[in-house]
Structure 1
Amino acid sequence: MNISIIIPAYNEEDIIGKTLDALEKINNITEIIVVDDGSTDNTPLLCNRNRVRLINLVQNQGKGRAVEVGVRESQGDIIVLLDADLGDSAREVEKLAKPIIAGEVDLTIALLTIKGGGVGLLRKFADFSLKTITGLAMKAPLSGQRAFKRKILPLITPFYNGYGLEIGMDLLILKNNIQYKEVPCNFKHRVSGKDLSGFIHRGKQFKEVLSVLWSFKNNIV
């Protein structure tokens, strides 16, 4: 099965090079697509590689839109969504694809085994909300590292934008009874700081997750 990697990126010049280095060492990846979401730094220049296809969005449109563009342009039977800031740990991607290749499930979600890089209260809120709305639970409802068969795209789209992408997909996974597996992986990514910028970042995450949950709940009531 052909594997397409989709990486939405926004101002990731400090780490995306290491992420791509790790992925380029994996032979069974068919294509690596980076969707630059209007970066103002050198992110696009660092993606100028033989095995990487770069798609430039002129303006910042949000993670969900960047993923949507990347998926639309991809060719693989299996599509893998990865964050740009994984660095060397991007090599763990093979663990995500394995259960799908083996025919066990149609979709996988990375369950982080390395402490750090989590979202604490927001994750707990997302977990509680999923249980409340669907009666079901996930261990990693906000994990951005996911893989799925192309054929299930109609069941997990449209993609919600911004930080609502993952929770929106979770709701559709559970609603449509998609066979999925949460796979322990040693992915590690940037942790939001405890300064003002970190507080603003987490606030934006919470707002966008809440917006998706509210929208979904109202549509099924």
Structure 2
Amino acid sequence: MSAAGPLTAHRPERVAVVIPAKNEAERIEATIASARGIPGVDLVVVVDDGSSDATSAVAMGADALVVRHKTNRGKAAAMATGAQMVAIQEGAERADGGESFSEELHAEPRSPGHTGPLPVIDASDPVPRALLFLDADMGETAAAAQPLVEAVLGEGVDMAIALLPPQPGAGGMGVVVRTARRGIERATGWEAAQPLSGTRCITRETWQACQPLAPGWGVETSLTIDALTAGFWVKEVPAELHHRATGNDLRGRLHRAAQLRDVLRALARKRHLSPEIEEEEDAPAPLRELPSAESPPEPAPLPTGGDDHDEAKVWTVVPESAEEVAGRAERRRITLADLPVDGELSDDETRALGDVDPAELDARLRALRVEGDFAPDDVVYLAGIDLEQLAARLAAAPVEGRFAPAHAVIIASHLQVGEPEIPETLTAPLTPEEYTSLVVHAAVDAGNA
């Protein structure tokens, strides 16, 4: 259990279940029915993330609020859509007056010309529901998530994470769990037993503090880190939940490789691994060389260790103003504005690029076999690697089309690993996603060896 953070003044009294689902028509109905039996749950939202089966129809038949992504957008996007739908539903409830709606009936009109009752609506803002995220394949065991709800509603926990028992048939790479665990501990000092557990109950205040979410399978890692660094109380709670385990066949191996890729990407973000540290008031300021006429009386010369010291000059500390610091960062940012970056570079990212030649970096980035712009922190990372080697690696890959920026960054982080072996069950050309997953898996095998 992590150290207790600031508890909210008012605890939620109700819970909305959010179930991201893809091709779960066989199990979704049982999961919904079981989730409804959890005390405090009064809303179930199913996000159909690009299913090709009857998941949406079955979920609607089970009386869940259903929203559908036309294409698969990944777990993080499905979770965000579910939380958004809960907020929309609560807004509609408030517009209808909510549970506190009442009407005062009078025999005589209250005002001239009015002949009917006037509604009296409680204007107080209710505490939003907590969010309980469940896997769609949990079936009848979903009700076992009740301890998580009790921890949030009754105990004051801000994010309760399910500790699951061993899952029959599970197998694969413990390296994914170890990577996430070490990354969370490095960023926060807290060691998680099951860092990749996706079954979580979380207050809306905590949820908002964790935005934006890391993409894909990195969402659990980023949620834990962001909640802890924001000062919220995170606790792992045992729960007898069971879901379909990922096996050790090719499909399972590719799934775990993609999982590792997303976890690494979530951990690589600077806001997680390099938290901003405020400078102390007495921290040393930059040194500037000034003529002796401008120096204070009895200056302390900077020793040179030789006889060639210039007595006409002395060194003194002259703090830079905030305007000077901001101006220098802004000038540097302007010179980097033409890079293929999705968003603006922060001051820290601008300084991290140091003396990089913007024109040369721009040319090398655009020469990559990549479609789209890079995240700002990814540009900082790529500026420090051999982009010619990365370009050659991407160009030679047996892939149809161009890579996404995220794929290129992951491959760049494993340039020391040779070309991955393509299983016989996969036929070239591969998709960029398949090739990137194989690269990650080859790196894992190399590390285990």
TM-score by length of 2: 0.47
CA–CA distance in 2 between the matches of 1:194 and 1:50?
33
CA–CA distance in 2 between the matches of 1:219 and 1:84?
35
* Secondary structure of 1:8's aligned partner: strand
Give 1:219 shift.
5.4
CA–CA distance in 2 between the matches of 1:50 and 1:9?
14
What one-letter code is carried by the residue in structure 1 that aligns with 2:43? E
Choose from 55, 59, 75 the match for 2:71: 59
Structure 1: where are the runs of 5+ without partners?
none
What is the identity percentage for the equivalent residue pairs of Structure 1 and Structure 2?
A: 30
Residue 33 of structure 2 contacts residue 62 of structure 2 at CA under 8 Å; is this kept in 1?
no
Q: What residue in structure 2 maps to residue 45 of structure 1?
A: 57
Give 1:214 shift.
0.8
Task: Establish whether residue 107 from structure 1 lines up as the match of residue 107 from structure 2.
Answer: no
CA–CA distance in 2 between the matches of 1:173 and 1:80?
16
- Cα pair distance change 1:89/1:27, threshold 3 Å: same
* Secondary structure of 1:36's aligned partner: strand
Q: What residue in structure 2 maps to residue 220 of structure 1?
A: 275
Deviations, residues 143-183 of structure 1 (Å, cap 9, x unaligned) = 10001111222212112221011001011022112112110
Q: What residue in structure 2 maps to residue 208 of structure 1?
A: 262
Q: What residue in structure 2 maps to residue 198 of structure 1?
A: 252
CA–CA distance in 2 between the matches of 1:126 and 1:218?
12
What one-letter code is carried by the residue in structure 2 that aligns with 1:162? G
Q: What residue in structure 1 maps to residue 145 of structure 2?
A: 93
Give 1:115 shift.
4.1
Which has a greater percent of strand?
A: 1
Task: Establish whether residue 129 from structure 1 lines up as the match of residue 183 from structure 2.
Answer: yes
- Greater Rg, structure 1 or structure 2? 2
* Secondary structure of 2:61's aligned partner: coil
Q: Which moved more, 1:4-13 or 1:114-123?
A: 114-123
Give 1:94 shift.
1.3
CA–CA distance in 2 between the matches of 1:26 and 1:106?
18
* Secondary structure of 2:46's aligned partner: strand
CA–CA distance in 1 between the matches of 2:56 and 2:62?
14
How many residue pairs align between the two structures?
221
- Cα pair distance change 1:131/1:26, threshold 3 Å: closer
What one-letter code is carried by the residue in structure 2 that aligns with 1:96? L
Residue 31 of structure 1 contacts residue 51 of structure 1 at CA under 8 Å; is this kept in 2?
no
Structure 2: where are the runs of 5+ without partners?
1-12, 91-127, 277-449
Task: Establish whether residue 25 from structure 1 lines up as the match of residue 37 from structure 2.
Answer: yes
What is the Cα-based RMSD across aligned positions, in Å? 1.9
- Cα pair distance change 1:164/1:73, threshold 3 Å: same
